[in-house]
Every structure is written in structure tokens, then in C-alpha cells.
Amino acid sequence: MKTSFRTIALVFGREFRAYFATPLAAVFLLVFLALSAGLAFFAGGFFERGQADLGPFFAWHPWLFLILMPAIGMRLWADERRSGVIELLMTLPVRAHEVVIGKFLAGWAFTAVALVLTMSFWLVTLYLGSPDNGIVAASYIGSFLMAGAFLAISACVSAMTKNQVIAFILAAIVSFLLVMSGTNLVLAALRGWAPAFVVDLVQSLSFITNFDRLTRGVLEAPAVILFVSTIVLALWINVQVVDAKKAA
């Protein structure tokens, strides 16, 4: 598959800047910081635990991302369709996968900015105690990968509609299912009738279960593979949707 990295870089640059063209970026970053801090302190018992670790902070990430990543991803394609720019973009000498990758990377880089801003927590725990830096680093990598998986799903859903609100809701629902599939609520409902391998499969696809593994400080291959392959699969579908549904 021929790929122009120049095209990817150009699309990336445009989209990344587009996040900051409106106050949306600032609002998003503030909301993310406030929620991740607030949840860690008030619902996670960050101080009360008396331990210098970031567990309560990361524990909320699957729930935060399942709302925030669709918010980042919803405009990537739906807006192009609504404004008609997709017609201009896809008649430039570019390949669909170059645009898909460029847009995804822009959203992912924006997410990275949000995550980097939260590293003040890390500094606080370093000041207050001695956290296990390996665990923190692994958790950040895991959080970034999981965010990428949510984002790729959101971008893919965004390509299917010209309505950003619909894109947001559909992406949030898909993300919610992927988070919930590891909870006892879902697994217990399955255990009654489904064969064991189905239960195991559903559990193995759970973003929460896999993210928990990473936050324990080991970059476990299955978890990394799950998130990376979710990204690849979602982007591949994204390319097919863009190719097939240009004019709709």
C-alpha cells in the first residue's frame, strides 16, 4: 500500500491546529483535568488512602475516556461531511488511509497533551512520598493506548454520519459496551447460559480488565495487543467507510 507520509503530516498539522482554533480545546483540557482530579480526590480517596500512588487517578480513566474520546473524535469526519469539505479533500491527490491516519494521530496527539498536563499529579505524589515510577509510567502508557482505542472507534463512527451529535452518542455507546464487558454485571448475566469460552472472550475484550492489568505496572502483551489491534481495526473500517460512503 503506497503511503505519502507528507500527506499524513499535512493532515495531522491541520487537524491538530483545528482543535485549538476554537475555545473547545481549552474547555476540554479543563474538564479533563478537573474531572480526573476531582474523581481521584473525592471519589477515589486519593489522600485518605495514605499511599503515594496514582491508582485512584487512573482507575477513572476508562469512564472518563468513554465520554471524552467521542467528544474529540466526533468532528473528525462528520464535520467534513456536513460542510462538504470531504468532497474537496477526497478529490485532492491523496489516499483515504493517509487522511484517516493523519486525522486519528491529530486527535491522539491532543489526548497526549491532556495526559501530559495531568502529570502534575505525579509530581505531587513524588513530593509527598515515593510512588513506584514504573507503575506510573506503565499506567500512563496504558491510558494513552486505551484512549487511542476509544478515539479510533469514535473517528470510525464519525465517518458514518454527517451529524456530530449522532457520532458522539454512537461512539459513546460502543465505548460503553467495551468498558462494561468486563464488569460482573455483564459477566454474571452471561454465565447463566453462555459457554465458558464466550464469557472468557467477552471478558478478554474488556477495556477495564485490560487497563487494570496495565495499571498494575506490567506492560502485559495481551492488553497492549488488544488496544493496538482495536486501533488498527477501527481505522481500517474507517478507511472502508470513507471509500464507500464519500457522497452520502
Residues that bind other proteins (CB under 8 A): 6-7, 10-11, 14, 18, 21-22, 83-85, 87-88, 90-95, 246-247
- Please state, in angstroms and rounded to a whole number, the distance separating the CA atoms of residues 129 and 50: 10
Which of 184, 177, 108 has its CA nearest to residue 148? 108
Residue 95 CB, nearest approach to other proteins (Å): 7
Question: Would you say 38 or 84 has its CB closer to other proteins?
Answer: 84
- Helix-helix angle 5-20:96-117, to 10 degrees: 50
Question: Would you say 94 or 224 has its CB closer to other proteins?
Answer: 94
Helix (H) / strand (E) element for 243: namely: helix 221-244
Residue 246 CB, nearest approach to other proteins (Å): 6
Question: Would you say 185 or 247 has its CB closer to other proteins?
Answer: 247
Residue 28 CB, nearest approach to other proteins (Å): 15
Question: Would you say 186 or 246 has its CB closer to other proteins?
Answer: 246
Q: What Rg do the C-alpha atoms of the chain give, in angstroms?
A: 19
Which three cell numbers mark 48?
485518605
Question: Would you say 106 or 149 has its CB closer to other proteins?
Answer: 106
Burial class (CB in 10 A: 0-12, 13-18, 19+), 212: middle
Which three cell numbers mark 23?
475555545
Q: Side chain identity at 67, as an amino acid letter?
A: I
Question: Would you say 88 or 201 has its CB closer to other proteins?
Answer: 88
Residue 11 CB, nearest approach to other proteins (Å): 8
Question: Would you say 88 or 116 has its CB closer to other proteins?
Answer: 88
Residue 89 CB, nearest approach to other proteins (Å): 8
Burial class (CB in 10 A: 0-12, 13-18, 19+), 36: buried
Angle, CA of 139, 72 and 89, to the nearest 5°: 125
- Please state, in angstroms and rounded to a whole number, the distance separating the CA atoms of residues 123 and 150: 27
Residue 166 CB, nearest approach to other proteins (Å): 20
Residue 134 CB, nearest approach to other proteins (Å): 41
DSSP state of 246: S
